[in-house]
Amino acid sequence: MARSTYIEIPEAQIDLYWSALQVGDRYIFSRVIRKNAFFSRAKIEKLTSKSYLPTIKELWAGFSTEQKTAWKNIDPHPQKHGWRTFVADQSQRIKLGLSGTATPNTHHQDLVGAINIEAPADEAKLVQLHPSQYWVNTRVTGKKSMYQPTSVTELLVLPLKISISYKSNLTSTGTGSFAKFYAEVRHFYQGQNLETKLEINIPLSSDWATSDATLSNVLGEASSYNLYIHLYKVRGTLLFDNVKAEHSGSNWARDTYCKNIAQQFTKAFYQIPKHWAAVILPDGADYDSIYPE
């Protein structure tokens, strides 16, 4: 018969306890393991040799004030920081073996979402669900690599503004072809369940650009919405980044910077919906996060 127990750590020893120990896998084999608090000189040298930071630091030091300001200006986060943005981008370049440095671009930063369609496919459709209640993956405060599922209540209050940055290289395969990013808003009116679309039409061929659209009111009461990216009767590649769905003063789009658009959640996080789930994805079509060369 299994036996379980627990210990209560005195308040004065909590910091000391967690400075020496850390939680292992919490779901398959729960345990507390030792934390490597000290590293030998040889290990420090080995870790430094594997880090991209010394190389990136040298590149950053060679930038002019104008170049550093340009990297700061494209940071999409509320608190802009040029060094952070450059590190994220240059790390991907080094990892992929690309030479030189990228040119700062206001429409995308390091990884972007990509949908690729090849024969025999000519259609792909992705959805990001936004019901009134769902679960997301959040980092545990004070822990570097510990996450927990968190329940989110999203009450839709119009206006709803959607926006997306994109680069398209698509070819039509027939009549009625299109590329769209849109929100499908559900609302109730006199016992009817209605839907209204808020659409952004993406040109089949376009360099990086950003478009937005706003829905200010609907008939009756708005309840919830879903986001879609739909490519129809086309082949080629669509790149996208900085996806936003703003209402109530916040951006509710998940993975807005497209770090891992195809991420799947398992174990204790099974109830968390994928950032982007495939509605239509035939053989020849795929999607993932990539670095745009």
Helix (H, G, I), strand (E, B) or coil at 73: helix
- Domains in the chain, start-ordered, CATH in brackets? 41-104 (no CATH), 113-290 (2.60.120.260)
The region of weakest confidence among 36-45, 130-139, 216-225, 258-267 is 36-45
Does the structure show a pLDDT above 60 at 3? no
**Six-digit token pair at 202?**
């993406």
Paired with 182 in beta bridges are: 199, 228
For the chain, the distance separating the N- and C-terminal CA atoms, rounded to the nearest angstrom, is 58
Q: How far apart are CA 240 and CA 22, in angstroms?
A: 38
| Sign of the alpha-carbon torsion through 76, 114, 276, 221 | positive
Residue 248's identity, in one-letter code, is S
Does the structure show a pLDDT above 90 at 33? no
pLDDT tens-digit map of 140-167? 877 777 888 889 999 999 999 999 999 9
- Mean pLDDT, to the nearest integer, of 26-39? 60
**Six-digit token pair at 211?**
């478009």
3: exposed, middle or buried (Cβ count in 10 Å: 0-12, 13-18, 19+): exposed
Average pLDDT, the chain: 88
Q: What does the pLDDT read at residue 254?
A: 94
pLDDT tens-digit map of 91-121? 999 989 999 999 999 999 899 999 999 999 9
Tokens 């494209």 sit on residue = 74
Helix (H, G, I), strand (E, B) or coil at 156: coil
Edge-first strand listing for the sheet containing 221-232: 192-201, 178-189, 221-232, 123-130, 277-280
